[in-house]
Amino acid sequence: MTRRQKAIAFFVALCVLLVAAAISLNIGWIIANTGRITPIVLGMILFGLIIAGLIIYTVFLVLEIKRNEEHDSFINSVTHELKTPIASMRLYLETLQSREVSEARRQEFYAIMLADAARLQHTVEQVLKAGQVREKPKTVARGPVDMRVLATECIELAIVRHHLQPASIALDAPDGRAPMVSGDAEELRTVVGNLLDNAVKYSGQLVQVTVAVAAPAPDTVWVRVQDRGVGIPRKQLKRIFNRFYRVQARGLRHIKGTGLGLYIVRSIARAHGGRVFAHSEGEGRGATFTLELPRLVGH
């Protein structure tokens, strides 16, 4: 049991003891004032107020402890995500500075440093994006966006970013009318990109991801990202879109992240008049994330 879990258990137990003490005092008050209506009524009202105050205080205290724990976890995760690529780049730069290396090795070092720089940039962009979406929602720059084309671009980028084989991420987008939506192409690219990054990250060694683009109704467009990875415990499905929240399950401690990706996804989806939801049969059984957006009228 962690230090914060012990603190939560202590305050919950304290609340239970105080409620029990209040009940005992209220019973004693009623017995002492048997036959006197006014003191009994006033005592019961005060008793109700005391109990309500104790419960509200304890709930807010426990929530605050949990929030602080999430913030600490976020700081630790971001620190790791920043320090690791910086340390890697510094090591390769010192190697290039201190010794002669062949041209082939030099190019290999450059490629690794560029990948580390891209990882660093991605982390910074995630933090900045989370700050932007938390502020007062801005007006979305509306324009027609073909979600089939956008999904294809995001898949190509994910394959390059994660060094995957082309067959690792499959696109299922039937021919027909283009699934057009009205929105900000860059913001929607962030949404699909984050969903793909999560799917790859939580797939383990064997990455098998399917991206389906469909129009299940005349006024709706879906982009569905499905993986066969570690899955999500059902009790956590509603919490994974919260800021800083990361899935708590066996074998996931080694998977790093900021806990901001899905929060950004949900915020952007809402700004576009849509929603995002997740489904999983449980741990080890993969997960499916569905982005639902209003279809552009006339397309």
Residue spans per domain, the chain = 1-135, 144-294
Task: Tell me how far CA of residue 181 lies from CA of 8, 78, 125, 147, 177, in angstroms.
Answer: 46, 33, 25, 7, 12
Average pLDDT, the chain: 79
Quickly list H helices, the chain: 3-32, 37-98, 103-134, 147-161, 185-201, 261-271
pLDDT of 209: 92
Q: How many Cα neighbours within 13 Å face the side chain of 61?
A: 17
193, 158 contact by CB (below 8 A): yes
**Mean local confidence (pLDDT), 201-215:** 88
pLDDT of 152: 93
| 208 or 285, higher pLDDT | 208
Cα separation, 148 vs 181, in Å, equals 10
Work out the pLDDT band at 116, boundaries 50, 70, 90: confident
Encode pLDDT of 161-203 as tens digits: 888 898 899 999 887 778 889 988 988 998 999 899 888 888 8
Domain 144-294: what homologous superfamily? Histidine kinase-like ATPase, C-terminal domain (3.30.565.10)
261, 126 contact by CB (below 8 A): yes
Residue of 297, 282, 237 lying closest to 262 (CA atoms)? 237
Task: Tell me how far CA of residue 93 lies from CA of 41, 113, 122, in angstroms.
Answer: 78, 9, 21
Q: What percent of the chain is predicted at pLDDT more than 90?
A: 14
Task: Tell me how far CA of residue 160 lies from CA of 125, 183, 197, 212, in angstroms.
Answer: 18, 26, 12, 20
Strand partners of residue 209: 169
CA dihedral angle for residue 62, residue 68, residue 74, residue 79, rounded to 10 degrees: -150
Using DSSP, state whether 50 is helix, strand or coil: helix
Q: What percent of the chain is predicted at pLDDT more than 70?
A: 74
CB atoms within 10 A of CB 150: 22
**Mean local confidence (pLDDT), 76-89:** 76
